């Protein structure tokens, strides 16, 4: 760093003679920088209380610590031989730097809290510096920052300062106005999203039924796992399942036209968890119906209300069509809870378009539900993005989920679709017994949904014998399963246990108890006592031309642990497993 500074100074000395006013200004900027650093240290050390940290101090520190950047303006002014723009550009840069600091404070508040580093955002909430900050404090502080208006207040300060930054500069300085306006848009979009989410959550809290569940003393290892997971999942439900929400940026510069570049999706994840809560309710005789009913109504309310309806992963992204995976997952939960009328009313239309207009001669069908004929302009856009961005063709992980759902719905009515689709899926099995997923990380989700399908509609399929060999050969010494060439993890262990459960129901795994017990023990050992849940694991994957985008969630991992525990609660006591 010192070498770089020395090199930079040597170049500056070549540009500006010692008598140039540039050097007095440069020394002034350096003084401001060091004074700001020393001043900030007084808050960091505890010499000054956080309650004294106000907007004026935030301005002094933000502009002082970035004051060296003003040397660019001073240098350009000196080289141009006129000081006409020195003051307005300096003022504009100060406003810009202040805005950027406010935005950075919002982005970095967790690290700032854990490092006991003051910011206007944190000091607006915390009157004193935290003595021993802990990670478990973050959830409470986040709630207070968002719902107490602190985030919005600091974002508004940043937006106002960006406006000031452009107001003092002539409009013909196009590049500067463009840069400031783009950053201002980011802040404004974030402010809009925070207001939208917090208001939605406040409405939810007002409408959400009161729910409290007392768990009996666990008598089995499966009950112990389920109780731990359910406590966390119910808590997340009470908070609107914000932890499962998938947030992605779909940039306007890439042609996306959403109301915001940041899109939110939680339908699929919540449908998975509602299905698992339904399983747990039945397996453990727990009264979870108020939670499940609330979620069912949420799915119906948040379906597409136009076109062929259905559900989309990011429901507010105009370029993303409704998809078969979301449709199947919502249908499963409705069917598990005897809501056949809702299935008929809300699912039949997209299901018809999927099976009649998106099915191929080999038994496969598309993931995206787009009419083949008489498309609206929006559906034409869906088709264009499916062909050029999202990908076309059958995906076995999605197909298996849909076909299993059709078997639950009406196996006789959909017999031909189910059998031809299942034959296609059998052909896609790898030699070692796994199925490779398009939309999910690793082999265990695809293997689970395909095994579940075959166990229901083709229980004598030779593919199931290969699944057995794959599961037995891929279990780690500690009882876990995991991503290829990686350590085991609780998500993939739970998915493998679910596949094994379906095989066991068919009587294909005599003597499985020791391996299953090791896996259940691994799940207990991988429980995060501090977070009171199972850890984040990569779950959904989206292949892009140059990289893979990933999604995961502690709630999703925890939910699959619950599902595995529910599946094995009764199987562990079956005679075939005690021999």
Instruction: Judge if 436 and 424 occupy the same domain.
Output: no
Task: Report the run of H or E that residue 538 belongs to, with start and end.
Answer: strand 538-543
pLDDT confidence band for 510 (50 / 70 / 90): low
Instruction: Judge if 531 and 551 occupy the same domain.
Output: yes
C-alpha to C-alpha distance for 478 and 285, rounded to whole angstroms: 31
Express each pLDDT in 38-48 by its tens digit.
Answer: 999 999 999 99
Instruction: Judge if 302 and 414 occupy the same domain.
Output: yes
Express each pLDDT in 314-356 by its tens digit.
Answer: 999 999 999 999 999 999 999 999 999 999 999 999 999 999 9
Express each pLDDT in 82-113 by its tens digit.
Answer: 888 899 999 999 999 999 999 999 999 999 99
In a domain, 148, yes or no: yes
Instruction: Judge if 472 and 388 occupy the same domain.
Output: no
Exposure string for 315-342, b = 16+ CB within 10 A, e = fewer: bebbbbbbbbbbbbbbbbbbbbbebeeb
In a domain, 60, yes or no: yes
Tally of domains in the chain: 3
Instruction: Judge if 173 and 232 occupy the same domain.
Output: no
C-alpha to C-alpha distance for 531 and 68, rounded to whole angstroms: 43
Locate 137 and state its tokens. 């404090």
Range(s) of the domain holding residue 320? 246-428
Instruction: Judge if 254 and 156 occupy the same domain.
Output: no
Cα separations (Å) of 117 from 43, 121, 528?
Answer: 8, 11, 27
This prediction's pTM:
0.81
CATH of the domain at 69: 1.10.600.10
Instruction: Judge if 422 and 304 occupy the same domain.
Output: yes
Instruction: Judge if 547 and 442 occupy the same domain.
Output: yes
Express each pLDDT in 415-445 by its tens digit.
Answer: 999 999 999 999 999 999 999 999 999 999 9
């Amino acid at each position: 760093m010192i070498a770089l500074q020395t090199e930079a100074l040597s170049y500056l000395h070549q540009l500006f003679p010692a008598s140039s006013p540039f050097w007095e200004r440069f020394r002034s900027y350096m003084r401001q920088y060091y004074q700001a650093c020393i001043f900030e240290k007084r808050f960091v050390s505890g010499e000054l209380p956080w309650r004294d940290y106000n907007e004026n101090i935030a301005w002094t520190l933000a502009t002082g610590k970035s004051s060296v950047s003003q040397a660019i303006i001073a240098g350009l002014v000196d080289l141009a031989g006129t000081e006409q723009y020195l003051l307005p550009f300096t003022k504009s840069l100060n406003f810009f730097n202040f805005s950027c600091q406010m935005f950075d404070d919002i982005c970095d508040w967790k690290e700032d809290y854990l490092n006991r580093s003051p910011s206007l955002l944190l000091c607006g909430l915390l009157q004193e510096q935290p003595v021993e900050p802990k990670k478990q404090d973050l959830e409470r502080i986040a709630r207070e920052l968002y719902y107490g208006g602190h985030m919005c207040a600091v974002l508004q300060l940043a937006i106002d300062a960006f406006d000031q930054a452009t107001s003092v500069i002539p409009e013909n300085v196009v590049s500067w106005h463009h840069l400031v306006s783009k950053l201002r848009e980011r802040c404004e979009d974030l402010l809009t999203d925070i207001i939208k989410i917090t208001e939605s959550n406040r409405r939810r809290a007002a409408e959400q039924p009161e729910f409290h569940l007392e768990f009996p003393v666990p008598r089995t290892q499966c009950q112990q796992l389920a109780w731990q997971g359910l406590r966390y999942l119910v808590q997340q439900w009470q908070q609107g399942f914000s932890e499962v929400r998938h947030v992605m940026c779909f940039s306007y510069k890439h042609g996306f036209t959403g109301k915001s570049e940041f899109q939110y999706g939680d339908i699929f994840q919540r449908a998975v968890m509602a299905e698992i809560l339904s399983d747990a309710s039945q397996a453990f005789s727990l009264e979870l119906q108020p939670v499940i009913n609330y979620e069912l109504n949420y799915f119906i309310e948040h379906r597409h209300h136009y076109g062929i309806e259905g559900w989309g992963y990011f429901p507010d992204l105009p370029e993303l069509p409704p998809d078969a995976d979301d449709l199947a997952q919502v249908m499963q939960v409705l069917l598990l809870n005897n809501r056949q009328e809702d299935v008929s009313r809300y699912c039949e239309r997209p299901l018809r378009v999927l099976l009649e207009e998106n099915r191929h001669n080999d038994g496969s069908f598309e993931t995206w539900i787009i009419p083949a004929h008489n498309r609206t302009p929006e559906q034409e856009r869906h088709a264009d993005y499916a062909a050029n961005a999202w990908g076309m063709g059958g995906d076995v992980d999605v197909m298996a989920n849909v076909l299993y759902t059709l078997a639950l719905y009406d196996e006789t009515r959909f017999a031909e679709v189910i059998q031809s689709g299942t034959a296609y899926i059998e052909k896609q099995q790898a030699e070692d017994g796994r199925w490779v997923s398009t939309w999910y990380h690793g082999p265990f989700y695809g293997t689970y949904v395909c095994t579940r399908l075959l166990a229901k509609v083709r229980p004598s399929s030779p593919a199931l014998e290969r699944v057995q060999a794959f599961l037995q050969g891929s279990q780690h010494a500690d009882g876990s399963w995991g991503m290829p060439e990686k350590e085991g993890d609780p998500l993939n262990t739970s998915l493998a246990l679910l596949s094994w459960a379906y095989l066991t129901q068919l009587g294909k795994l005599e003597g499985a108890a020791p391996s299953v017990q090791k896996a259940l023990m691994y799940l207990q050992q991988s429980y995060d006592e501090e977070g009171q849940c199972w850890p984040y694991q990569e779950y959904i994957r989206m292949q892009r031309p140059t990289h893979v985008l990933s999604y995961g969630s502690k709630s999703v991992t925890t939910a699959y642990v619950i599902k595995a525990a529910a599946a094995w609660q009764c199987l562990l006591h079956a005679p075939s497993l005690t021999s």
